[in-house]
Chain A
Amino acid sequence: MSNSPKTLFDKVWDSHVIRKIEDGPDVFFIDRHFIHEVTSPVAFLGLKTRGIGVMYPERTFATADHNTPTINQHLPVEDALSANQLKQLATNSAKHGITHWGLGDPKNGIVHVVGPENGITLPGFTIVCGDSHTSTHGAFGAIAFGIGTSEVEMVLSSQCIMQPKPKKMRINVNGVLGKGVTPKDVALYIISKLTTSGATGYFVEYAGDVFENMSMEGRMTVCNLSIEMGARGGMIAPDQTTFDYIEGRELAPKGSDWDTQLAYWKTLKTDQGATFDEEINFNAADIEPMITYGTNPGMGMGISKHIPKATDVEGGVATYAKSLDYMGFSEDDSMIGKQVDYVFIGSCTNGRIEDFRAFASIVKGRKKADHVTAWVVPGSHIVEAQIKEEGILDILMEAGFVLRQPGCSACLAMNDDKIPAGKYAVSTSNRNFEGRQGPGSRTLLASPLVAAAAAVTGVVTDPRQFL
């Protein structure tokens, strides 16, 4: 059997199974575990209650990101409950010998940004975190997915979780992307075609020209959004682009260790003839800059299109009507020209340097629309430093934008960065659920280019006119 062709996913999954339980899940070994302040405290409480410890503290990394303020991070956190969660992350990490990048640490930032940029995320690894966007790390050819707090406790105490093996799906996108079409648009396009539950039960491999030609930042954006079509995760076979990104990062392998690992990483691709439970093909030329109009990420469309009629979409008419009613939109509306009150660029989806470069490419030489409130939030201090070094900060400031400090920010609005009720936000984040960015907030998910075009015009605008 060992000679039969295997998928990338099979190779990584099968090499991490310690025990297969008959009529049950696999006991699955985890190479790297990330924790943050919101989904870990109860796991540590569980360890304490059971009187057990952390089995391999060196395999877990902690960063504070979900509830952190994005201004005045040098001051004590005002919100008492948030401050308590941050304190617990610090004390729990210290007690168990876990590396902790707390607020103000130069390595602090969003968990799915700091893992890769510090060389913790590597091809062939299994990576979990109590956050559904852990799928981001699949960009490196890792199996990475979000877990619940009970599973965080499992990983802390035994470095394993118990998982049934998902089915396999391959999504091929071939051809050349058009002007102004970014990785975010590719992902939103795929999700709009598959719907928000279309890949549930599957682990996805992305393949084809478009992903082969994509930067690591772009691949991370695509894999990040895998969960938004229900997939547990998504992955892309590692290649020279991957190896070049990793080499030299602080915690990446060095010297002979690098050579050994690299040789292994080069075997991590789907063999010719390996089969998938589902295979789907898209054409790059069909993808436009995308925007969402509803209350789940599957409700997206090309920015020049009109909002579909309920009768033309899959799913319940009542649910669809509820969604458009929440958004204040009607069937057949054009999105172009819709009022925009807030613009948010950042998050684990689009908070990396390439995203700020794209944003700056449009705002350069223009001014932020007066009525728009813009939150520009880097994914990490390392990204923040790059923004400054590359002169992007100067461009932003000249255009009337203020750079905030790293964190998840308005993506889930656990801190003060909340979109007010009824207001419209063009957001580079990952979810447009009701109230996601604050109670009553209305979210239009889009790429950094679409966000920039909205920020300077104050309405939903096709970014291609600026390129």
Chain B
Amino acid sequence: MAYDSFSVLTSTAVPMPIENVDTDQIIPARFLKATERTGFGDNLFRDWRYDKNDQPKADFVLNNPTYSGKILVGGKNFGSGSSREHAAWAIYDYGFRCVVSSFFADIFRGNSINVGILPVQVSPEFLHQIFEAIEKDANSELVVDLPAQTITIASTGASESFEINGYKKHNLLNGFDDIDYLQAMKSEIAAFATNR
């Protein structure tokens, strides 16, 4: 599905300084039974966010009114585990458009871009600076500039560049997706497939 294009995002961020956040935490398997891609945001981080009586856990960051924004900042190895794209849908549905970490699991990274979320990989040092800036001031904004491929902590001016391949960047900037691309080359695919 085509999605909103992404250019420059300036927003406060939600800090989650936990390593190895896996997709079972992002969206537990028992919530994968929908047959449409919307509505998953309600169950984002379900078991960290709510207790067994479905009451919000006060100590979880998404329940803390101090923190909000369109950027989620996670610890190393964010999105490990299952290939469920529902994890990316849940993050998107909740309202995030960008996830920042010092390291992403492969499948999650690909799924994110495919649904219109920009995964921004920064150095461990820069990640630490982001967490520090948010701890100091929860209203501290991050500026994620896709055309320039930079992320900046507004309050300190500290900035770092991030990697994304030119093809995916073009897609995100314009809201294009891979299916459009593949549909346009079906005769080439058919020629290839006849020999296989």
Contacts and interface: CB of A to CB of B under 8 A. Distances in A.
A298 to B, nearest CB: 8
A85 B33 contact: yes
Given A24-B168, A412-B29, A439-B47, A42 B22 contact: no
Nearest to A421: B52
A134 B82 CA distance: 11
Contact of A19 (B32, B34, B36, B185): B185
Contacts of A1: none
Nearest to B190: A55
B164 to A, nearest CB: 10
Interface in A122-154: 130-132, 134, 146-151, 153-154
Given A148-B111, A439-B28, A154 B179 contact: yes
Query: Which of B29, B84, B185 neighbours the largest number of chain A CB atoms within 10 Å of its CB?
Result: B29
Interface of A is mostly: loop
Contact of A296 (B35, B80, B103): B80
A419 to B, nearest CB: 13
B24 interface: yes
A55 B52 contact: no
Given A46-B179, A154-B178, A296-B80, A413 B29 contact: yes
A21 B181 CA distance: 11
Contacts of A319: 18-20, 75
Contacts of A131: 82-83
A358 to B, nearest CB: 26
A82 B33 contact: yes
A162 interface: yes
Interface stretch (A271-279, A284-292, A362-370, A430-438): A430-438
A18 B106 contact: no
A67 interface: yes
B34 A146 contact: no
Contacts of A431: 22, 24, 81-82
Interface string A39-53: 101100110011010
A88 B110 CA distance: 26
B83 to A, nearest CB: 4
Given A24-B165, A52-B183, A159-B189, A81 B19 contact: no
Nearest to B113: A150
A324 interface: no
What range describes how many residues of A lie at the interface? 35 or more
B186 interface: yes
Contacts of B189: 18, 27, 29, 55, 158-160
A147 B107 contact: yes
What range describes how many residues of B lie at the interface? 35 or more
Contact of B34 (A31, A81, A148, A433): A81
A368 B81 CA distance: 32
A55 B188 CA distance: 13
A414 interface: yes
A200 interface: yes
Interface string B37-63: 100000000010000100000000000
Contacts of A201: 106
A197 B196 contact: no
Given A25-B167, A29-B192, A315-B19, A55 B186 contact: yes
B82 A132 contact: yes
B166 interface: yes
A44 B102 CA distance: 34
B115 interface: yes
Given A19-B185, A24-B166, A39 B83 contact: yes
B188 A149 contact: no
B76 interface: yes
Given A85-B33, A315-B76, A200 B165 contact: no
B133 interface: no
Contact of A197 (B1, B28, B76, B190): B76
B193 interface: yes
A66 B30 CA distance: 10
B182 interface: yes
B103 A197 contact: yes
Contact of A29 (B166, B183, B196): B196
B105 interface: yes
A82 B19 CA distance: 32
Contacts of B1: 46, 49, 150
Query: Which of A21, A67, A150, A322 neighbours the largest number of chain B CB atoms within 10 Å of its CB?
Result: A150
A196 interface: yes
25 contacts: A21-B167, A24-B167, A39-B85, A45-B35, A81-B33, A81-B34, A84-B33, A88-B35, A148-B111, A150-B115, A158-B179, A158-B183, A161-B178, A164-B165, A197-B20, A200-B77, A200-B104, A232-B107, A315-B76, A322-B18, A413-B30, A414-B29, A435-B24, A436-B29, A439-B52
